[in-house]
Amino acid sequence: MGGVTSSMAAKLAFFPPSPPSYKVVKEEATGLLLMEPFPHRENVEVLKFPTRRGSEIVGMYVRHPMAKFTLLYSHGNAADVGQMYELFVELSIHLRVNLMGYDYSGYGQSSGKPSEHNTYADIEAAYKYLEENYGVKQEDIILYGQSVGSGPTVDLASRLPRLRAVVLHSPILSGLRVMYPVKRTYWFDIYKNIDKIPLVKCPVLIIHGTADEVVDCSHGKQLWELCQQKYEPLWLKGGNHCNLELYPEYLRHLRKFISSVEKPPSQRVSFRRSVDRVEQSRGSTDCFETPRKSTDQRDKPRKSTDRTDKLKFHEFKFSNTEKLEKIRVQFDQMERSRRSVEYSDKSRSIEFQDKSRRSVDVQFERPRKSIDWLDRVRAS
């Protein structure tokens, strides 16, 4: 049953755009790879590289002349690199970072099929490519994971002790917890971020919308509480799952975070402690806090019809309600079976204890009768 549930959960987790939003072509004169329909940019390179699981991954690398860090971006479950192209370029410009984005196996023009373990191999291949081909050091890399992309991001981050920082954008506690409010981790669950985030040693920024109806804000809140090195989180009031980039606070907070991780580690630790004290005293990190009415128009999201259309692809899709219901029914059956076994074991244990108690009573009853007989003999 666990294998079936895990397989169905994986099917609900991945929605590669069909058809892909781009094509990869090779320019005859230079041999460079180009991404159609986008015009060639001098600072953007289109890449292909293999993974340890046999897929060939498509990625893009955006250079910034003033960059100190490289952002390795793992996108959401319903997008590909072509749909993320303009956002990647904008982030590189505004954050002054080099940026690598890549498509998971089975997404865009990447070969293979999407799966949890393939995404782990995909991000490892992208990280290795940065090290071997661009000379990027581990301590100069910031991992960025959005929605399902938080899975491979946290997995890799938990195994890189010298990583500069991590950004989690609308992250999930685990795949099963998005669909069902389980209280413990099951072996067949996917993307068990809740168990891996305590192993991440670098500063972690979490961004989540308080009105997210796909991945509840409580996912981000719990992950933040489990971080070793907490950075002031960004709970965007009224933000949903696919529009956080439209808020002015989004870029401001990212720039502030990147600026803070440029500082020596001793200064960052001191800053984080002060942030923790402030957050605890004012309680602003609680994503269930009633939002204040703001008169500052700058804090409200800008209206932009063109960018909204571009960013709709970020949505984490769980639209197939029939498949979701099947998983819930199967999970309920598993829970009832487990409870039945536990109840049966408990009943047998109680019955055994009762028999043992009666046996002990009999053993004590016999000597007690013997003592009573002696007392009567002595009295006579």
pLDDT in the model for residue 12: 59
**Per-residue pLDDT for 198 more than 80?**
yes
**Per-residue pLDDT for 135 more than 70?**
yes
Instruction: In whole angstroms, give the CA distance from residue 39 to residue 101.
Output: 17
pLDDT in the model for residue 337: 63
pLDDT in the model for residue 252: 97
Residue 344 bridge partners (DSSP): none
Averaged pLDDT of the chain: 80
Assigned token pair, 307: 């960018």
Assigned token pair, 173: 């506690």
Give per-residue pLDDT as tens, 300-319.
444 443 443 444 434 444 44
**Per-residue pLDDT for 77 more than 80?**
yes
Q: Give me the mean pLDDT over the 243-252 stretch.
A: 95
Residues that are catalytic: 147, 212, 241
Stronger pLDDT, 295 or 133, i.e. the higher one: 133
Asked whether 98 and 137 are in contact (CB, 8 A), the reply is no
- What distance lies between CA 125 and its chain's CA centroid? 19
pLDDT in the model for residue 313: 37
Percent of the chain with pLDDT over 70: 66
**Per-residue pLDDT for 160 more than 70?**
yes
Stronger pLDDT, 145 or 280, i.e. the higher one: 145
Instruction: Determine if the peptide bond prior to 20 is cis (ω within 30°).
Output: no
CB burial class (10 A; 0-12, 13-18, 19+) of residue 124?
middle
Stronger pLDDT, 38 or 5, i.e. the higher one: 38
Q: Give me the mean pLDDT over the 343-360 stretch.
A: 50
Run of H or E including 13: helix 2-13
Q: Angle of helix 265-282 relative to helix 248-261, nearest 10 degrees?
A: 140
In the block, tokens 């890189």 appear at: 160
